[in-house]
Structures are given as C-alpha cells and as structure tokens.
C-alpha cells in the first residue's frame, strides 16, 4: 500500500511539473519524444478486437511518429494483468495501453483488489472506438418477430430466455442485464469463455439470444437474426435493424476502446499522440477498414476522453451493482 502511495505522489509531482512546463516551454517535450520505439500494451491475447484495433493503428502511428510502435500482448484475468503492468510503467510516453469498457469501466466495480484505478493511475489520451452491440437471436427463438414480441413472450414464461454472454461481468453480460431490468423481464444468464463460443452456442440453438459486437457477419449471411442495436442511432452495417430505444425500451449502450498513458506522462507527449491518432482515425482507408467490422471511430481531445471515462465509471458502477456481477 505504501508503495502505491509513493508512486501516486511521484506521479502527481511529475504531472505538476509537466503542467508547469507546458506553459513555460511548449515545444521542449516534442523535440525529444519519441527517441526510441513506443510500446502499446494490449491487455488481451492476440486475435481479439482490441488486438486487431491496436495492430491496425500501430502501423500508421509509427509512420507519423517516426519510431516503431510495438504491440505487446499481456493477457490475463480479464485484462487486469496487462493494465496493472501499464499502471506501474514509467510515465515517459514509451509505454501506452489500450483501455476498454471492461478494463477502464467495468473491472473497478467488479474486482475488489484491482491493482489500478482507471483515472488515478492513467491519463486518457484519445477515445478510439464506439462499438454498437447487436441483440441477435438464433434458431431456438425462430418464432420471435421483434423486440416487443420477445419481451411479451418472456413476461408470459419467465423461463423463456436463456441468454449467452462472453463471460461474467463482461460488457455483453452487463448489456443484457441492463436490458432485462429496463424491460422488466426474467432471463437466465449462460456465460461462455469469450464471444466466439457464445456465438456458436447461439448458432446451434443451445441458447436463444445474446447481445454482442461480433455477430454482424452472421446476421448478414442469415445464420442469425438481429432484433435490435443498442446504439443511439441505427448503424450503417445494419440499416434495417431498429434500435432498442425505437422499440420502447429506453436503453443506449456502446462498447469502447481508447489509448491511456500512465499517470504523469508529459501533457506534450499526450497531445502529440492524440494529434497523430486523431488525424489517422479520420483517414478514409482506416475508416473503411473499421466500418466493415462494425466498429465506429471516435477521436477527439484528451479532455473529451477523460470526461467520457468519468461519466462511464458512474453509469457502469450502477449497472454492475444491479447485475449482481460483483465478486472477488
């Protein structure tokens, strides 16, 4: 505990000097950084959404910065291992981390002994994505016409819905719990180890429904059917699918990713990375690549992202409490 405190205090002092430096000599940090490769920690194993996003952006980012950008996969314990490591890294701009709704929004409310705190230990750099989730049904709920129909049937038979998720306390689990409580229905949660096996169970009819971000291709080829999207507005990839809100349940829920730096990183460096990524996220070829994956790109300033993470911390905290996912 003492160690944590000293780190935080040192980080605060660094942050203070850095803020002072900002007003005194704005160009200094930019001249020096980066002089060596920049590491971006992905707190998951290779192959997932987070990894894909980081690897796709690493290439153009290294061109802009003039130094290699290295992706480091540090998976384990729902992303807490890698993010914990990033929180202990030197705040010199050479270690950044991809934060997401799980590690920076949900986990603090789910894990008791979390080794980091999203806003105490990190400076938000830029929000990268906002990913609408899709509520999809498989062959087991073939007879369901639309969302109001699903709700009506579930009200009639409390055992009607078995829903899959990527695991206890994941963004997908919380999304369905939020829907369940707002719609006032019962549903049995069947957790899987990640989106892929959950999707398979949905396709085979083992479970009836799930909310997830990875089902768009299966909806397009007709294996699964979309009942609703959880975003505020309809999504480009599925223009005919109405939002949850349109169908009478007041729910908006999106998953997200962003870059964070260890607390105390020079604001000049944060501005540099933010500027570089903001420009990259606006490029048409990058937008096109992500659009095909149903991933919306956001961008904006570090302050925008800080405000967003702060807002999310509150909302997700309430949600975790309601879902009963709190543990450990």
Window of 126-134, 175-183, 217-225, 274-282 that interacts with another protein by CB under 8 A: 217-225
Q: Which of residues 154-213 bind another protein (CB under 8 A)?
A: 159, 162, 167-169, 188, 190-193, 196-197, 199-201, 203-204, 206-207
Size of the residue set binding another protein (CB under 8 A): 52
77 binds another protein (CB under 8 A): yes
Count of beta carbons in the 10 Å neighbourhood of residue 324 = 11
Q: Tokens 């908006």 — which residue?
A: 252
| Angle between helices 49-65 and 267-281 in degrees, nearest 10 | 110
Among the listed residues 52, 65, 286, 307, the single contact to another protein using CB under 8 A: 52
8 binds another protein (CB under 8 A): no
Residues whose CB falls within 8 Å of the CB of residue 326, separated by 6 or more in sequence, listed in order: 109, 110, 320
Name the residue nearer to another protein (CB basis): 153 or 245: 153
Kindly state whether residue 285 participates in binding another protein, applying the rule CB under 8 A.
no
Q: Is 113 in the site for another protein (CB under 8 A)?
A: yes
Q: How far is CA 29 from CA 38, 62, 117, 269, 276, in A?
A: 15, 18, 26, 7, 15
- Burial bucket for residue 36 (CB in 10 Å: 0-12, 13-18, 19+): exposed
The string of DSSP codes covering 177-242 is: HHHHHHHT---EEEE-SSHHHHHHHHHHTSSSEEEESS-HHHHHTTSSEEEEE-SSS--TT-TTSP
Least distance (Å) between residue 167 CB and another protein: 7
- Among 31, 143, 221, 240, which residue interacts with another protein (rule: CB under 8 A)? 221
Give yes or no for residue 73 binding another protein (CB under 8 A): yes
Q: Is 242 in the site for another protein (CB under 8 A)?
A: no
Judged by CB under 8 A, the chain residues 253 through 282 that form the site for another protein are none
- Token pair for 214: 């990875």
- DSSP string computed for 79-103: GHHHHHHHHTS-SSSSEEEEEEIII
Looking at beta carbons only, is 176 or 305 nearer to another protein?
A: 176
| By CB under 8 A, residue 76 contacts another protein | yes
> Residues 6 or more apart from 23 whose CB is under 8 A from it?
none
Calpha distance 215→135 (Å, rounded): 9
Stretch touching another protein by CB under 8 A, among 145-153, 216-224, 257-265, 308-316: 216-224
Binding of residue 58 to another protein (CB under 8 A): yes
Place of tokens 């085979």: 204
Binding mask 83-112 for another protein (x = CB under 8 A): -x-------------------------x--
**Contact footprint for another protein (CB under 8 A):** 45-48, 51-52, 55-56, 58-59, 72-78, 80-81, 84, 110, 113, 115, 159, 162, 167-169, 188, 190-193, 196-197, 199-201, 203-204, 206-207, 217-218, 221, 223, 289, 292-293, 325, 327-328
């Amino acid at each position: 505990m003492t160690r944590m405190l000293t780190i935080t205090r040192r980080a605060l002092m660094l942050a203070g000097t850095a803020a002072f430096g900002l007003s005194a000599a704005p160009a200094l940090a930019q001249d020096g950084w980066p002089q060596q490769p920049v590491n971006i920690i992905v707190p998951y194993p290779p192959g997932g959404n987070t990894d894909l996003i980081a690897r796709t952006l690493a290439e153009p980012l290294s061109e802009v910065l003039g130094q290699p950008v290295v992706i480091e996969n540090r998976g384990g314990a729902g992303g807490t291992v890698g993010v914990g490591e990033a929180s202990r890294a030197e705040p010199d701009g050479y270690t950044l981390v991809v934060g997401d709704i799980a590690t920076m929004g949900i986990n603090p409310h789910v894990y008791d002994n979390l080794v980091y705190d999203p806003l105490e230990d990190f400076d938000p750099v830029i929000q990268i994505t906002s990913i609408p989730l899709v509520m999809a049904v498989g062959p087991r709920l073939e007879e369901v016409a639309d969302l109001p129909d699903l709700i009506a049937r579930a009200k009639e038979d409390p055992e009607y819905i078995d829903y899959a998720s990527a695991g206890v306390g994941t963004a997908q689990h919380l999304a369905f719990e939020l829907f369940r409580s707002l719609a006032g229905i019962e549903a049995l949660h069947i957790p899987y180890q990640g989106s892929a096996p959950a999707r398979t169970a949905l396709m085979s009819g083992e479970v009836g429904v799930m909310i997830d971000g990875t089902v768009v291709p299966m909806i397009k080829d007709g294996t699964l059917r979309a009942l609703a999207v959880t975003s505020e507005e309809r999504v480009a990839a599925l223009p005919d699918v109405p939002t949850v809100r349109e169908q009478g349940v007041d729910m908006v829920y999106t998953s997200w990713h962003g870059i964070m730096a260890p607390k105390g990183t020079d604001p000049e460096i944060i501005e540099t990375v933010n500027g570089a990524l903001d420009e990259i996220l606006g490029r048409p070829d990058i937008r096109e690549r992500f659009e095909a994956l149903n991933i919306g790109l956001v961008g904006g300033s570090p302050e925008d992202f800080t405000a967003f993470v702060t807002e999310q911390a509150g909302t997700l905290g309430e949600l975790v409490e309601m879902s009963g996912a709190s543990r450990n």
